[in-house]
């Protein structure tokens, strides 16, 4: 049975999540076009697919049991939006913060533009403050 265009785009998101869960930055980056535009790239990140690996590698090293899931995948033409849930244990250094052994649960949202079966553009929003609080780098307010 042939996939519809919408099913194909949803399948790409599923494949991307599966790649994250292999803990292989190259496997993640393989889903992106060589000249992908990451609209939320980290400062100092190289352009294109290398920039994706630049972002992914430290996260995978810090959270080697990382698990990423996509929910509520919506397709509109060449654009795909989805919510993410990321979980893992902080057992390696991250952003100069030593391993804490703390668990992490992070909710986020991403929008991608797909061109020729690859991710050509990425917009991704995560709660970085929550990451820092959960790994013990920033105190969580009480009260």
Domain CATH code at residue 51? 3.10.450.50
**Residue 13 is assigned to a structural domain of this protein:** yes
**Residue 142 is assigned to a structural domain of this protein:** no
Per-residue pLDDT, averaged over 62-67, amounts to: 96
**Residue 140 is assigned to a structural domain of this protein:** no
Cα separation, 17 vs 13, in Å, equals 6
Q: How many domains does the chain have?
A: 1
Q: Is 72 left (phi over 0), alpha (psi -120 to 50) or beta?
A: left
* Radius of gyration of the chain measured on its C-alpha atoms: 16
**Residue 20 is assigned to a structural domain of this protein:** yes
Q: Is the pLDDT of residue 50 over 90?
A: yes
Residue 112 is part of which domain span?
5-134
**Residue 57 is assigned to a structural domain of this protein:** yes
What's residue 3's pLDDT? 79
Q: What is the pTM of this model?
A: 0.91
Closest by CA to 107, choosing from 137, 136, 72, 75, is 72
Cα separation, 57 vs 55, in Å, equals 6
Q: Of the given ranges (7-11, 90-94, 126-130, 139-143), which has the lowest mean pLDDT?
A: 139-143
What is the DSSP secondary structure assignment for residue 126, as one 8-state letter?
Answer: E
Average pLDDT, the chain: 94
Contact between residue 96 and residue 83 where contact means Cβ atoms under 8 Å apart: no
**Residue 139 is assigned to a structural domain of this protein:** no
**Residue 113 is assigned to a structural domain of this protein:** yes
């Amino acid at each position: 049975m042939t996939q519809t265009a919408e099913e194909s785009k949803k399948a790409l998101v599923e494949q991307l999540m599966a790649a994250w869960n292999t803990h292989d930055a190259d496997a993640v980056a393989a889903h992106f076009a060589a000249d992908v535009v990451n609209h939320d790239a980290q400062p100092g990140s190289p352009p294109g697919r290398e920039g994706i690996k630049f972002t992914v590698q430290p996260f995978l090293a810090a959270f080697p049991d990382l698990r990423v899931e996509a929910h509520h995948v919506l397709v509109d033409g060449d654009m795909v939006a989805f919510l993410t849930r990321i979980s893992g244990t902080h057992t390696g250094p991250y952003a100069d913060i030593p391993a804490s052994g703390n668990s992490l649960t992070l909710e986020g949202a991403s929008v991608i533009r797909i061109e020729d079966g690859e991710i050509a553009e990425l917009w991704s929003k995560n709660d970085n403050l929550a990451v820092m609080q959960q790994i013990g780098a920033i105190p969580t307010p009480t009260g």
